[in-house]
A and B are shown apart, each in its own frame.
Chain A
């Protein structure tokens, strides 16, 4: 089942890429040349499972726009490159895409790749819109006008999660964390901790007691030592920002210790449905952060369309938010191009600043000052279940990003 549907995706993606490449001369013959966009994301390596759905959403948006006659009568031509999730490969590919005339870049799964490409945007006179990279530095310390983020960031997301916890579990006032020993791990933790310290006094009327986070090694096979440390920790509520395979290994190994009975509520920063699809019935109950949950946006035409297309073509009934974010990057450019038909980098930047555009999670606005999108944060509560999928969404919350967003301080650290 799974294998076949996956191959279908590969086939579909391969076909999509091939058509856009082959049909390039045809576009060129048309009166106006196409707008060139360059996707650079992890299509191999550890983050491949995130980059693939992102490319799917991106490709779908391009196909839809082209089928509807393009923007200003001009089609979009999508060039695709694999960053392998590595910063140096990512910059090579970005430079290559610019060389092919793609001054509008999009994609990026990991922050390190986004930060690397961010560093060369000015010099290459290109723009980048990322669909997952979460580092706060991109819109703060390392801000540069050529970069935009259509997704939320740790400040918004983790503070929204902390706020929800303060609302739902006012009695749980001791918190700990398991985080990867990375910039991402630290900034998610800093944001979550800040959220706890803000919202517990405000909503629960108590000052929370917060333990030092437990730092974990990236890409390990054994997390039992960290689990032992977490079990020794007096904190009751626990937050984790491990991702992908590491998160699954952690949950798998923590479960038999009764970890999820002792440490509840458990909050997962951003793993979408990835652990749920892998672990199925074995998935412990947890609150998980997400970019987009189709069930929360029924009636939104983009969301419904994305869900139908994705589940039909992949057989996966629980698409991850990377699909919608890939889609949103194209929608942002499309919105900007409608205002700036020339498509030069300068024009695109000023059109993107303050732009409001439609996405699978409703309309989003790119803040003009620091290029951070104001979008809702989605958090759902999952657990393993005896159904076809192997898990169920017990409930979900959509929290307005404007409520938890930070002050825009481009070029400066976050103003905590």
Chain B
């Protein structure tokens, strides 16, 4: 019974950290640029496909360290794509209405799906977890896949690093001040264009990292981008949009609600997430943590 309970809670956490990995970059970009980037899921997908290709260059399964290195390569590559997207698309969206950026980035999502299909084909692919993470950890009756624990670990690590950067470092504080009031920040001599670019590149790099880390989590297909993006939208909105801490908390909350709902009310799979999002926004329209970063 206790093992069951623990298992369900841990499953909720795996989902939470997987979605947080996706949502972190999304919320960062929104926080600074006020662009809700629809294409974010598309770049997570590109990161995952890149990881697939890099792994297949070698003999397939790699060790944990090599896998993390590989995920970083994905992060850097997708970050570089972010730089290009920033120049070509985001720079032109600054003076237009918010909703235009929604459609522009939706178009970029379509383009990323098309690109993935052209390069990797429409067939389903699958990536093995890194060596040493293929098995499970046993604790009495309780079993947890090692890779799932790894996802939880990476999710927490990414959160801590991001949080440290935004709260404790000078550059992070500059980011925050730009997010709060770009005009005032520019008066203080901050190069806000540079800050915008940094935010976009960091956001995309996080997407690439999420893709690399999550490549073994589920099957890969050109539809993968759309699957994650809606969940990530829910998480950042419940957390208080633009708020990394909020997204982290919201991911955990929604993950647990969804996990227990799915197991204990089995006739309605997949509905709890939306109920939870709707109810939370109804009672806290600005999200769990608004204003506070």
Check A-B contact in the complex, CB < 8 A: yes
Interface residues in B21-66 (C-beta closer than 8 Å to A): 60
A221 to B7, CA, bound (A): 18
Q: Which residues of A contact B231 (CB under 8 A)?
A: 221
Q: Decide: A225 and B223 in contact? CB cutoff 8 A.
A: no
Most buried by A among B15, B135, B216, B219: B219
Instruction: Please encode chain B, from 1 to 29, with 1 for each CB lying within 8 Å of some chain A CB and 0 for all others.
Output: 00010011001101100100000000000
Q: Tell me whether A226 is interfacial, beta carbon within 8 Å.
A: yes
Interface string of B261-287 (1 = CB under 8 A from A): 011001101100000000000000000
Chain B residue nearest to A214 in the complex (CB): B266
Name the A residues within 8 Å of B269 (CB-CB): 181, 215-217, 226
Q: How far, in whole Å, are A225 and B254 apart by their CA atoms in the complex?
A: 14
Contact: A252 with B121, CB < 8 Å? no
Question: What distance in Å separates the Cβ of A382 from its nearest Cβ neighbour in chain B?
Answer: 14
Chain A residues positioned under 8 Å from B121 (CB to CB): 2-3, 6
Q: Are A232 and B4 in contact (CB under 8 A)?
A: yes
Given contacts A222-B15, A222-B218, contact A215 B266 (CB under 8 A): yes
**Would you call the interface of chain B mostly helix, strand, loop, or mixed?**
mixed
With A3-B121, A48-B122, A257-B143 in contact, do A225 and B221 touch (Cβ < 8 Å)? no
Is B169 on the interface with A (CB-CB < 8 A)?
no
Complex CA distance for A297 and B228, rounded to whole angstroms: 42
Is B221 in contact with A222, judged by CB distance below 8 angstroms? no
Q: Let me know if A224 and B146 touch, CB within 8 A.
A: no
Contact of A225 among B11, B126, B136, B227 (CB under 8 A): B11
A103 within 8 A of B: no
* Residue B109 is within 8 A (CB to CB) of chain A in the complex: no
Q: Is the CB of A249 within 8 A of B4?
A: no
Q: Which chain B positions have C-beta within 8 A of A279?
A: 126
Number of interface residues of A (CB under 8 A): 45
A221-B224, A228-B11 known; A258+B122 contact, CB < 8 A: no
A247-292 at interface with B (beta carbon < 8 Å): 248-249, 252-253, 256-258, 274-275, 277-282
B96 on the A face (CB < 8 A): no
Asked if B259 lies at the interface with its beta carbon under 8 angstroms from chain A, I say yes
Chain A residues, Cβ within 8 Å of B136 = 256-258
> Is A225 a contact partner of B258 (Cβ separation < 8 A)?
yes
Contact flag A278-B15 (CB < 8 Å), given A221-B228, A256-B146, A256-B147: no
Whether B145 pairs with A277 at a CB distance below 8 angstroms is no
Q: Do the beta carbons of B126 and A248 come within 8 Å of each other?
A: yes
27 contacts between A and B (CB under 8 A): A2-B121, A3-B119, A3-B121, A46-B221, A48-B117, A215-B266, A215-B267, A215-B269, A219-B227, A221-B217, A221-B218, A221-B227, A224-B148, A225-B15, A228-B11, A228-B263, A232-B4, A244-B219, A244-B221, A246-B219, A248-B218, A248-B219, A256-B136, A257-B143, A278-B123, A282-B126, A282-B128
- Report B's interface with A, CB cutoff 8 A: 4, 7-8, 11-12, 14-15, 18, 60, 117, 119-126, 128-129, 134-136, 143, 145-148, 216-224, 227-228, 231, 258-259, 262-263, 266-267, 269-270
Known: A225-B259, A245-B218. 12 other contacts (CB 8 A): A44-B117, A48-B122, A214-B266, A217-B269, A220-B270, A222-B15, A225-B262, A228-B8, A244-B219, A257-B145, A274-B123, A281-B60
